[in-house]
Amino acid sequence: MSAAPPARPAPTPPATRPARPARRRPFARRAGGGQTRLALLLLLPAALVVFGVVLYPAGRALVISFYDVDSPFPGRYPFVGLRNYTEILADDRLWAAVGHTTYFTLVSTALELVLGLGLAQLLAAPIRLRWLFRAIVILPWALPTIVNGAMWRWILNAQYGVANALLTQLHLQGDYRSWLGNDPFLALNMVVVADVWKNTSLVAFFLLAGLQTIPRGLYEAARVDGAGPIRAFFRITLPLLVPNIALVLVLRTIEAFKVFDIVYVMTGGGPASGTQTITFFTYLQAFSAQRFSSGASLAYLTVVAILLLALLYLRLLRQSELMSP
């Protein structure tokens, strides 16, 4: 910068020297102000989009949560401070929804992890037509959640559902029964089943990626030392998979915590509000009851909860990384 060149030097093609790996540090000061400016210029459209569709709406929602906005139109609304938060925190329906969400998150994530681990082992096994099995297993994940929810709603239909027909004909149950309508807790568990069916494949593929990085030699050495497959699993596979497990846990917990669409399609929050989750309750408040401020404050409480979860997970992850070999 001190001695500005009179004119920009023409870009000379690298004659004989191999190109320096300058690309790795685009912001290095030596690369010159022009390049930095270009980089910022190139980043500008993305930054604008991010501001427009993420930051601005998020900020607007935060502001709305301090007012009493009861219509979808812009206008003047009374400022109420934290009243929306205190009112919503005192609402029994919120705590019921928190209970449902917590149960859903814990059970579905745990099941997906255990089943996904087993499935990943199968998919990693050296068998014929492995590509075909892998393709089939990814199918549930490829299905949109709405389609998945509608499918399970039909499978579990009390009057015409396949589940009832199958279980009755196999004499596993005496008569047709209601899966989604009569018992709120059973309905919640059925939503968990539908979610596990879809998301186990994602978990399996994350773990499969991890499995493939474990050197074969470790298992051979363990076998030589007399360790059986179970011991090898707990002493080699599991410890080496910890980073993958942690990653998939973070993803799945946060996703499960935000569950909305599958509930909307399968049960609509019923029976007796027994499958209402936090996001579903937020939706009802904001759009069905037109309490936009209440909905916004609920959304922010959810954000805080997820942020805390993420921090907790990152801490666990760092610890596990320090411990893993």
User: What are the Cα distances from residue 13, in Å, to 4, 9, 27, 31?
Assistant: 22, 12, 21, 16
Q: Which residue's entry shows tokens 């998919």?
A: 123
Task: Answer yes or no whether residue 80 interacts with another protein by CB under 8 A.
Answer: no
Task: Answer yes or no whether residue 76 interacts with another protein by CB under 8 A.
Answer: yes
Q: Measured from the CB of residue 254, what is the shortest distance to another protein in angstroms? A: 12
Query: Is the CB of 35 or the CB of 273 nearer to another protein?
Result: 273
Query: Is the CB of 184 or the CB of 201 nearer to another protein?
Result: 184
Query: In the set 116, 149, 210, 295, which binds another protein (CB under 8 A)?
Result: 210
Task: Answer yes or no whether residue 244 interacts with another protein by CB under 8 A.
Answer: yes
Total residue count of the chain as it appears in this document? 325
Task: Answer yes or no whether residue 271 interacts with another protein by CB under 8 A.
Answer: yes
Query: 149-172: b or e for each residue (b if 16 or more CB lie within 10 Å)?
Result: bebbbebbbeeebebbeebeeeee
Work out the end-to-end distance of the chain between its first and last CA atoms, rounded to an integer number of angstroms: 47
Task: Answer yes or no whether residue 16 interacts with another protein by CB under 8 A.
Answer: no
Size of the site for another protein (CB under 8 A): 59
Please write down the HEC assignment for all residues of 178-192. CCCCCCHHHHHHHHH
Q: Measured from the CB of residue 141, what is the shortest distance to another protein in angstroms? A: 19
Question: What is the residue type of 286?
Answer: A
Query: Is the CB of 175 or the CB of 225 nearer to another protein?
Result: 175
Question: How many alpha carbons lie under 13 Å from residue 178 in its C-beta half-sphere?
Answer: 11
Question: How many alpha carbons lie under 13 Å from residue 168 in its C-beta half-sphere?
Answer: 14
Q: Which residues pair with 79 in a beta bridge?
A: 67
DSSP letter at 67 equals B
Tokens of 291: 């309490």
Please identify, among the stretches 30-38, 63-71, 97-105, 125-133, the one whose residues bind another protein according to the rule CB under 8 A. 63-71
Residues 121-160 that bind another protein (CB under 8 A): 158-160
Query: In the set 36, 77, 110, 316, which binds another protein (CB under 8 A)?
Result: 77
Site residues (vs another protein, CB under 8 A): 51, 54-60, 62-64, 67, 69-77, 158-160, 178, 180-184, 209-210, 213, 243-244, 246-247, 268-273, 283-284, 287-291, 307, 310-311, 314-315, 317-318, 321, 324
